[in-house]
Each structure stands twice: as structure tokens, then as C-alpha cells.
A and B are shown apart, each in its own frame.
Chain A
Amino acid sequence: MGIRFILMVNKQGQTRLAQYYEWLTLEERRALEGEIVRKCLARNDQQKCSFVEHRNYKIVYRRYASLFFMVGVDDDENELAILEFIHLLVETMDKHFGNVCELDIMFHLEKAHFMLEEMVMNGCIVETSKANILSPIQLMDKAH
């Protein structure tokens, strides 16, 4: 229910972060990622609608600099809300890393995952306050 997966893919089609909330085998995942990325990349040149329909779910995507954020959701989910959620995610990461860029995510993959975990659990949005999300992560950083 809700969110099925969250992907961050760069313009060359390389996955930078992938979080799935339903089980797919490795081949399926790669195939899925490939298809979706192709669809989003192709569209971006002409049109501006952020929603793509793929098989039985919708993909809400947005491009930030060189990275595409794609969220696959069920049919009954509010697409505009997901768009807001993507923005919230980016802002949270920005607050933590300071001017986040693709390399930051790559080199601190586990931190990005932790952040995402605080925000989304089992496909549902859990926390939307940046302070609450970042506090355990900051604690952990301090402990290190």
C-alpha cells in the first residue's frame, strides 16, 4: 500500500539509491529500474507532467540537478502529496549534508538510507518534521 519503491537515478541511468517496500527479485529490479528510467528520461525533454503510468502503478518523479527521484506508488495514492514528499526528502538531505549533491549520497549511502528509513516505513510516510528525522542521525554521528 502506498509507496512501493523509491529510486534515485542519475541521468546516465545508474541507480544511486534504491529502497523497495515490496519484494522483487534482483532481475526484476534491474529490469524495472531500466524501464522506468528510460521512460522518465525520454519524457523530460518535451513534457512537464511528473506522473507516468507504468503497469499497475504510477511513478511520480522529479529531477533535481543530475539526479532523478522516482517514487512508485499505488493507484489510489495522492500524487501531489508524493511530489511534496520528494521535495521534503531532498530538503532533509540538504539540511543534513549541506548542499547535498549526488556524490554525497553515493559516499554516505548508509546515512541516506537511515534518513529515508526515518521518513518512510513499510510504504507509509512516518515523519515529516525535519528536526525529528535528523535528530537520531545527528546523535549517531556524535557518538561516532
Chain B
Amino acid sequence: MNSIFSGTRLRDMIRSIRACKTAAEERGVVRKECADIRASINENDPHDRHRNLAKLMFIHMLGYPTHFGQMECLKLIASPGFPEKRIGYLGLMLLLDERQEVLMLVTNSLKQDLNHTNQYVVGLALCALGNICSAEMARDLAPEVERLIQFRDPNIRKKAALCSTRIVRKVPDLAENFINAASSLLKEKHHGVLITGVQLCYELCTINDEALEYFRKKCTEGLIKTLRDITNSAYQPEYDVAGITDPFLHIRLLKLLRVLGHGDADASDLMTDILAQVATKTESNKNAGNAVLYECVETIMAIEDTSSLRVLAINILGRFLSNRDNNIRYVALNMLMKAIAFDDQAVQRHRVTILECVKDPDASIRKRALELVSLLVNENNVKQLTKELIDYLEISDEDFKEDLSAKICSIVEKFSPEKIWYIDQMLKVLSEAGKFVKDDVWHALIVVISNASELHGYTVRALYKAVLTYSEQETLVRVAIWCIGEYGDLLVNNVGMLGIEDPITVTESDAVDVVEDAITRHNSDMTTKAMALVALLKLSSRFPSISERIKDIIVKQKGSLLLEMQQRAIEFNSIVDRHKNIRSSLVERMPVLDEATFNVRRAGSLPASVSTMAKPSVSIPNGVAAAPLVDLLDLGSDDIMAAPSSSGADFLQDLLGVDLGSSSAQSGATPGPKAGADLLMDILSIGTPSPAQNNTSSIDLLSTAGINNNPSNALDTLSSPAPPHIATTASAGGMFDLLDGLSPSPSKEATNGPAYPPIVAYESSTLKIEFTFAKPSGNPQETNVQATFINLSPNTFTDFIFQAAVPKFLQLHLDPASSNTLPASGNITQNLRVTNSQHGKKSLVMRMRIGYKLNGKDVLEEGQINNFPRGL
């Protein structure tokens, strides 16, 4: 009998929920209903069950937890009446999912229902199975489903077919069982069964290659015939949608044909006729027609090439593009992206329309059009396209600006024909959308600027003008400060004017104004301020007349609350005050940063190294490795390798990766042999420096002074350069590992007497190498080695290079050799420093390669040195 809490009817409950004005009220009502339902469940009253479940479903849809209802579903499913079963299965599908263990209990019920006499019940079971079966259930019940695919009633057949789709997806192994059944389904007349049959085949083809082959051979023609029938069939009111008979079936068939024809020329041949027919005959003034056309075009794109068909397809897309309906345009843009892959010309014709779409008020279309545009760019149209895009950047929405600016930057970078144009465009982008521009973009810009030495004057003047107008764009300010710092003298003296420029007068104090403004502005972040400080230091050397004012600014920053600023200010102040003599050599122009290396490195996505590059070049080893600025622990590479001499770019070479021997030789740089590029990329994967590079001296010295932080100390060592020395590299790029754990500078090496006997590392008929060892105090892991190369032959070796590689637990520093010409019976020396992280456990071992020219011929000698004394 019904208790007092007989429960409200579903619609009453819904009404009461709707009447709630607040969320709290609604929760209250729902809670009460749930309590009622729970009470009713406990009573186990069969009459109310389905009403309860209906209510539960509604509540579940609103988002409240309904786990207590799950057993109810099971009971309902088990009951004999059809309505109860129906609700039970519905509840099952909504409230449960394949992960719940409760599902296992249902398996048995499902099995019985699959064999039920009433076909509707069978249909129910199939439905439920098709929606939520798990892998185990699939395995259990697969044979039943297979049998049902051949059932007499088409409704059951179609449901069984779709159920098998799910089974096959869950348990791909069972796919073979279904292949035959699926192919028989394809010959059906009933549209429902046909659709599901086609879907089953599609699924089988994607999962199982054998199935694909089978269907390709046997069924392609049948499918084509079916498609033809449908296209040509008379009006069928049952399936007609806007004049097309069953567009859904059309689309499914086309999809399956796509899979069958992809990669197979024969099948594609068979299809060309019907595809052409569909493409031309389908009306396109209704959405249904367009849908079919869209699918047709996609299929044409995917199958093997028939150029006439492809032209047809692209024409259709062109028509879509000019359609007023946004949906169609969106779809067309989507497809054109794929079309670019094989017919670029045709798509270029529509370039103007696509550009218009970038400015469309609809956000989805804008996004797609932008992606398409970036694929369309090539050398011919890059200038025009960029101009349009930048124009649009100024008026676009904030959220779109980020995408747009990123795309513009990548386009400009890839295709820029000349540097001045590149710099111009980047400046415009930075002015408009500076805050969206990512770090590596403006780093790249600085690389390019430093490489374009003839444009330095122009660049710095343009930047100066820009930053006056757009001083809120952080990135622009940073780039401007860096350039003003570097090339301030060019700015003030109007050096290097290009014909197109108007002369501007900038006084020194104007330039300093800009930098000061950047420091003092409250919304500059720390990077900008720090960069500004460094720029001030450079300017204090380049503009001696106002160095008092600069000093004042720096002094003011001594009291800054940011540690980074404080430290820099103090150090720079001390340089300005007490070290005027070396200040100018300190802040000499940055050496040109090597583009090729930068690009490769960037492509290898080493973020740390990139960030080091653009940073101020002042080579003060200020043990402050400021986190935002100089992440010099570039992937743990402590070893400073000399970059190939030519560029003088002192990148922190990544020892764990590829040693990048850049080949961009700048003329006028050291002649040093390009052996640096000839990397000893052996299995130990540690590159070697080429000792003829002379900049290493400065690098090594600076790196080691991390501990004793006295600028002058390092600078002293700086000023004792190893022979041949490039003036420009005296300041040497700042890419040093300032947290280099290696201690004393080489100037202190060999102070301890040799505690280990010298060894003959290598001996051949023409060359002998001796190593003498010294252990500098303080670090037992370190060894200083002096290598002496002795020429045993009567000829002179020129372009002598020694390269060495060590296993990963060792670290190696090579200093430049005393000379790279080895006269007959003469010798040259070179210092190495080795750090053994496995000191005591493993001894040193080294592989070396020697290259030199003998009578104009290149000679290479290689060897392994195993006879290091133990305990090094």
C-alpha cells in the first residue's frame, strides 16, 4: 500500500522546483524530494519505482548526486513489464557509466533481454549496451550481438549494428568476427540499417587494416552503386530533407568512401565519377545540400589525385567563401587549409577574400582566416599581407591581438626579405601590441638588430621615436633601452643616417631621460628596470659629459627595495666611481650575436640560453645571477666552449646536446680555422672548443670569478688576453655561467707543484703530446693540465687545433693555445682544466683529435688517452 509519503507526481515536482526563486530554495526542495525517494526505495514498493526514477533523472540533470538510485535501475530492468524496463534502461544510461562496478550486475539481465521474445525489449537492451558497455561486457555479449545483426526486424538490425560499433571500438580484437556481417549489411535497403552498417564498416576500417583491405576489394563498387541510387532516386517523403534524399546517408557513404579511397589509386578511380556527379548535381541553396557538398569536397581532397576533381573541389570552396552565411564560410576556410597542401596556387587566388575574413566580426571565422593566412604567406606576398595584418592589429580586439601579433611575428621572421623591413615591422608590432609579444620574439629581434650593423643608427633612432609615443608597451621599452644603451652614441651624433630618415636632434640628456623614465615609472617590471640600469652604465661611458647625472640616478637606485636593483646599482656605482679606467673596455659594443646558432638553439627549444643572449653585455661577474634575467645555468652546462671564432658569439654551449658549430663566418673576424665547426660529436656528446679561438680566455676568466666577487680581480685577468685577441670581444658576451662551480681562475693555476708525474698522452711519428698536471688548491676534483705539443717532423704544421672530449662525469675547459703554428721540432702549449665529479671513483680519460695542415694538406690524428695518473 502506499504510505503517506506517496510521493508527488513528476510534473508536480518539476513545478515546485521551477517555482523556486533562489538556489537555496531549490536545493531544499530537491533534498526533500530525494529524502522521499529514498524512503520509497527502502519500502521497496514496485509501483512507484518508475516515477521515482523519472524524478531522479530530472534531479540528476540539474546536477545533484543520485547514486542511491542506481540499484533502483537494476530492479526496474529486472522487472517483466515493458514500461518499467524502459525506464530502467533509460535510468541506467543516464545515471551510470561504464566505469561503475554496478554495471557488472546488469550483464546478466542484458543477456536475458537480448534473447527476449519481444523485439522491443531486445531493442532496449541493445540500446543500453551500445551506449555504455565496458570492455568486459562487450566480450561477454559480443556473440549475442553478432547473432542479432542478422535478425529479421530492421530496427533490431540497425541497433545491433551500432552496438557492434561500440564493441569493436572497445575490444578491437573482436573486429574480425564482424567483418562478414558488416559487409552483408551494406546491401540493405532500409536506410536506418544502411546508415548503421556504413558506420560499422567505417569503424572497422579505421581500427583494423585487414578489414580495410577486405572492404576495399569487395565493397567499393557496391557502395558506389548505393550512393548513385540515392542521388538519383525519386522523391521519398520519408527521408527527404530540403530536396535531398537522406543527406545523412549521403554523408556517411561519402565518409566511408573517403576511408576506402585514401591511399589507394584503384578505388579512387572508381569513385571519381560518382564524386563528380554529387559535386555538380547537388543544390547548394539549402544547408542540407551544402552539407553534402562539404563532405564531398573533403572526400575529394583525401583520395588520390585526380586534378580535375580537385579543381572542381576548390571551385566549390571558392563559392562557399563568398557565401553570406557565416557557417558556410567557416567550413570553407577549414577546408582550404587542407587544400593548400597540394594546390597552393588555387588558394592564393582567394587570398583577398581570406584577408577580408580576418576582419570579420565573427570570432571563429577570424581565427580560422588568420591560420589560413599564415599558411598562405610566401616571399612574394609577405610585404602586402603583413601590412594588412598590422593595419588590422591596430583596430582589433584585445583578445584577438595576442593571436594576431604572434602570427605576424612568426610570418615576419620567416619571410622577411631584408633586415630593415624586418626591423620596421617588428617595431610596429611592438608599438601596437608589445605586451602580447613573447620573450623569444624580441630576443630574436635583438639578434637581428645586432647583426645588422649598418642599420644600428637607424634602428636606435626609430626606437627612440617610438618609445616616446608608446611608452606603455613594456617590450618596446625593453628593446629601446637596450639599443639606446648600446648605440647611444649613434643616436646622439646622428651617425649612419639612411637616406629615408629625417634628421632628429637628440641630446645626450634626452636619451638619458628615456632610460630614467623607464626606471622610475611605477609599472615597469623588474626586467625593464634592470636593463635600464645596465643601459645607464653603458651610457655613462659613452656620454662622459653627463655621467654625473647618470651617477645620480644609479645612486638613487641603491636604496631600491628590489634586491636585484640594489645590487646592480651598488656595483655599477663602484665601477663608475673607482674604475673609470676599465669602464670603457667593459662596456664596449656587444659582439655581434650569432644568428645561426641562435636559431638552431631556439629551434632546439633551450629557453635558458635564449634568455641569456639578449641580456646586457656588461661582463661584470656579479655573482648575482638574476633569475629573470640571466638563467645562465643553461641546462647544466658548466663548461664554456668557445664558439667558433668568427662570430665571437659566446653562447653557453649546451654540452648535453648538440655542440653547435655555427658556420656564419663574419668577415674580418679571426681567421681561425673553421675546425670549430668540425665538432667532435662523438658518443660522449660533449663538444670541444677549438683552441685557436681566442675569446675563450675572456670567457673562462670571467666565469670563474663567480666566487670572489670583486670586479677588479676579474677585470685584471681580463686584461691579460691570450694571443691573438679580437678587440671587439674584450667585453665578451654575457653568456657565462656565473654560477660556475669551478673555482680559481686560470691565473692561479699551476701554483701548486706538480703532484703527479707528467705523461706522454700521445705519440706518433710526427707529433708528441705531453701532459703535466697541477692540482690547484681548494678543490680536489679539479686538475689543471698543461698540454705540450711537440712537432717531431721536419715540416711546419699550420692551423693546428687540438680538440678533446671527455665522458659525462668530467668537465673540460680548454684555453687557447699559445699559437696555432707548430714549427718543425718546435712546440706549443695549451692549458686545460678538468673537473672530475667522480673524483676518487673514476679516473680521467679523454679522447682527442688533432687537426693541422701539413704542406697544404689537412691531416687528422685521433687518439684516446687512458694513461692519466690515478687519483686525478
A positions within 8 Å CB-CB of B: 1, 15-19, 21, 23, 26, 29-30, 43, 46-53, 78-81, 83-85, 88, 106-107, 109-110, 113-114, 117, 121-122, 124-132, 136, 139-140, 143-144
B302 → A minimal CB distance (Å): 11
Q: Does B57 contact A110, Cβ atoms closer than 8 Å?
A: yes
B654 at the interface (CB under 8 A from A): no
Are A122 and B162 interface neighbours, CB within 8 A? Answer: yes
The answer on a CB contact under 8 Å between A81 and B291 is: yes
CA distance A37 to B467 in the complex (A): 43
**Stretch binding the partner chain, chosen from B189-197, B215-223, B660-668, B691-699:** B189-197
Chain A residues positioned under 8 Å from B87 (CB to CB): 110
**With A50-B327, A85-B248: A80-B287 Cβ-Cβ less than 8 Å:** yes
Which residues 78-92 of B have a CB within 8 angstroms of A? 82-83, 86-87, 90
Q: Which 9 A-B pairs have the closest CB atoms?
A: A80-B291, A49-B326, A47-B362, A23-B97, A121-B162, A127-B192, A81-B291, A49-B362, A48-B326
Enumerate B249-269 residues with CB–CB distance to A below 8 Å: 249, 251-252, 255
Question: How many chain B residues have a CB neighbour from A under 8 Å?
Answer: 70
Give B89-110 interface residues, CB cut-off 8 Å to A: 90, 93-94, 97-99
Is B165 a contact of A49 with CB atoms below 8 Å? no
| Selected contact of B247 from candidates A81, A124, A130, CB within 8 Å | A81
Chain A nearest Cβ from B752, distance in angstroms: 64
Known: A23-B98, A78-B291, A144-B83. A121 touches B246 (CB 8 A): no
Name the contact of A84 in the complex, choosing from B195, B288, B363 (C-beta under 8 A).
B288
Q: Are B131 and A121 in contact (CB under 8 A)?
A: yes
Contact of A80 with B331 at beta-carbon distance under 8 Å, contacts A15-B62, A121-B159 already known: yes
Shortest Cβ distance from B54 into chain A, in angstroms?
Answer: 6
Contact partners of A48 in chain B: CB under 8 A? 325-327, 362
Q: A106-B14, A126-B158 are in contact. Are A131 and B364 (CB under 8 A)?
A: no
Most buried by B among A16, A85, A109, A131: A109
Q: Does residue B127 face the partner (Cβ distance < 8 Å to A)? A: yes
Q: Is the CB of A53 within 8 A of B367?
A: yes
Pair A43/B61 contact, Cβ less than 8 Å:
no
Q: Is A110 within 8 A of B291, CB to CB?
A: no
Contacts of B290 on A, CB cut-off 8 Å?
A: 80
> Quick check: is B856 within 8 A (CB to CB) of the other chain?
no
SS of B interface (majority): helix
Contact of A1 among B57, B58, B169, B329 (CB under 8 A): B169
On chain A, the residues within 8 Å of B478 by CB distance are: none
Evaluate contact between A109 and B61: CB separation under 8 angstroms.
yes
Q: A136 vs B163: C-alpha distance in the bound complex, in angstroms?
A: 19
> Could you say which of A26, A29, A124 contacts B199, with CB atoms under 8 Å apart?
A124
B239 close to A136 (CB less than 8 A): no
* Residues on the A chain within 8 Å of B327, using CB: 48-51, 79-80, 83
9 further A-B contacts with Cβ under 8 Å, apart from A50-B326, A117-B90, are: A15-B63, A23-B99, A48-B362, A51-B330, A84-B291, A124-B196, A126-B195, A132-B155, A140-B82
Cα–Cα, bound, A68→B249 (Å): 26
B192–A122 touching, CB < 8 Å: no
Whether B361 lies near A125 (C-beta < 8 A) is: no
User: A81-B247, A121-B130 known; A49 and B365 CB under 8 Å?
Assistant: yes
Q: Contact between A107 and B61 (Cβ–Cβ < 8 Å)?
A: no
**Contact between A109 and B364, CB atoms less than 8 A apart:** no
List A contacts of B828 (CB < 8 A).
none
Does B123 lie at the interface of the complex (its beta carbon under 8 Å from any beta carbon of A)? yes
Q: Check A84/B247 contact, CB under 8 A, given A79-B331, A121-B159, A131-B238.
A: yes
Residues on A with C-beta less than 8 A from B841 are none
In the complex, which of the residues A18, A46, A53, A127 has the most CB atoms of chain B within 10 Å of its own CB atom?
A127
**Binary per-residue interface labels of chain B (13-55) against chain A in the complex, 1 for a CB within 8 Å, 0 otherwise:** 0100010000000000000000000000000000000000010
Asked if B458 is an interface residue, CB under 8 A from chain A, the answer is no
B174 sits at the interface (CB 8 A): no
Whether B127 contacts A121 by the Cβ 8 Å rule is yes
Whether B58 and A109, one on each chain, are in contact in the complex, defined by CB atoms closer than 8 angstroms, is yes
Closest to A53 in B: B364
Give the shortest distance, in Å, between A112 (CB) and chain B (any CB).
11
**Which residue of B120, B192, B326 has the most chain A CB atoms within 10 A of its CB atom?**
B192
A-B contact pairs, 30 of them (CB 8 A): A15-B63, A48-B325, A49-B326, A49-B329, A50-B326, A52-B364, A53-B364, A78-B251, A78-B291, A79-B331, A80-B287, A80-B327, A81-B248, A83-B287, A84-B248, A106-B18, A109-B54, A110-B54, A110-B90, A114-B90, A117-B90, A121-B127, A122-B162, A124-B162, A124-B165, A136-B120, A136-B155, A140-B83, A140-B86, A143-B83
- Return chain B residues, CB-CB under 8 Å to A136: 120, 123, 155
User: Which residues of chain A are near B93, meaning CB under 8 Å?
Assistant: 117
Question: Nearest chain A CB to B253's CB is how many angstroms away?
Answer: 12
Indicate if B522 sits at the interface (CB-CB under 8 A): no
The interface residues of chain B lying within 8 Å CB-to-CB of A29 are 63
- For the complex, give the distance between the alpha carbons of A1 and B206 in Å: 12
The reply to whether the CB of B241 lies closer than 8 angstroms to some CB of chain A is yes
**Is A46 a contact of B361 with CB atoms below 8 Å?**
yes
Q: Are A128 and B191 CB-contacts (below 8 A) given A49-B365, A81-B251, A121-B162? A: yes
Q: Known contacts A78-B251, A79-B331, A132-B192; decide if A49 and B61 are in contact (CB<8 Å).
A: no
Chain A's closest residue to B290 (CB) is A80
CB-CB nearest in chain B for A127:
B192
CB nearest neighbor in A for B293: A80
> Closest approach, in angstroms, between the C-beta of B325 and any C-beta of chain A?
8
Q: Choose one: A19, A78, A109, A144; the contact of B295 (CB below 8 Å).
A: A78
Residue in A52, A117, A136 whose Cβ sees the most chain B Cβ within 10 Å: A117
Contacts of A83 in B (CB 8 A): 287, 291, 327
Contacting residues, chain A, for B363 (C-beta < 8 A)? 43, 47
Given A47-B362, A49-B362, A126-B158, residue A17 in contact with residue B61 (CB < 8 A): yes
Write the nearest CB–CB distance from A50 to chain B, whole angstroms.
Answer: 5
Tell me the complex Cα distance, A117–B162, Å.
12
A129 and B330 alpha carbons, distance in the complex (Å): 29
User: Mask for B457-498, Cβ within 8 A of A = 1, else 0?
Assistant: 000000000000000000000000000000000000000000
| A81 and B54 alpha carbons, distance in the complex (Å) | 32
Chain A residues positioned under 8 Å from B99 (CB to CB): 23
- Residues facing A in B364-419 (CB within 8 A) are 364-365, 367
Say how far A88's CB is from chain B's closest CB, in angstroms: 7
Within 8 A of A (CB), among B56-70: 57-58, 61-63, 65
When C-beta atoms are compared, the residue in chain A nearest to B206 turns out to be: A1
Question: Is A49 a contact partner of B287 (Cβ separation < 8 A)?
Answer: no
**In the assembled complex, which residues on chain B have CB atoms less than 8 Å from the CB atom of A19?**
94
- With a cutoff of 8 Å between Cβ atoms, the chain B residues found around residue A51 in the complex are 327, 330, 364
**What residues of chain B lie closer than 8 Å to A130, measured between beta carbons?**
238
B166 at the interface (CB under 8 A from A): yes
Name the A residues within 8 Å of B330 (CB-CB).
49, 51, 79
Give the residue of A17, A46, A47, A126 whose beta carbon is less than 8 angstroms from that of B196. Answer: A126
B136 to chain A, nearest CB (A): 16
Q: Tell me whether B63 and A26 are in contact (CB under 8 A).
A: yes
- Point out the residues of chain A lying under 8 angstroms from B331, CB to CB: 79-80
B748 close to A (CB within 8 Å)? no
Q: B251: which A residues are within 8 A, CB to CB?
A: 78, 81
The A-contacting residues of B in range 130-147, CB under 8 angstroms, are 130-131
| A63 to B102 CA separation, bound complex (whole angstroms) | 38
* Chain A residues positioned under 8 Å from B98 (CB to CB): 23
List A contacts of B94 (CB < 8 A): 19, 113
| B130 adjacent to A107 (CB under 8 Å) | no
Assess the B11–A107 pair: CB atoms within 8 A: yes
Contacts of A117 in B (CB 8 A): 90, 93, 127, 131
Closest to A131 in B: B238
- CB neighbours of B169 from chain A (8 A): 1
Tell me if B452 counts as interface (CB < 8 A to partner A). no
- Nearest chain B CB to A35 CB, angstrom units: 14
Chain B residue with Cβ nearest A14? B62
**A84 and B10 contacting across the interface, CB-CB below 8 Å:** no
Interface check B294, CB cutoff 8 A: yes
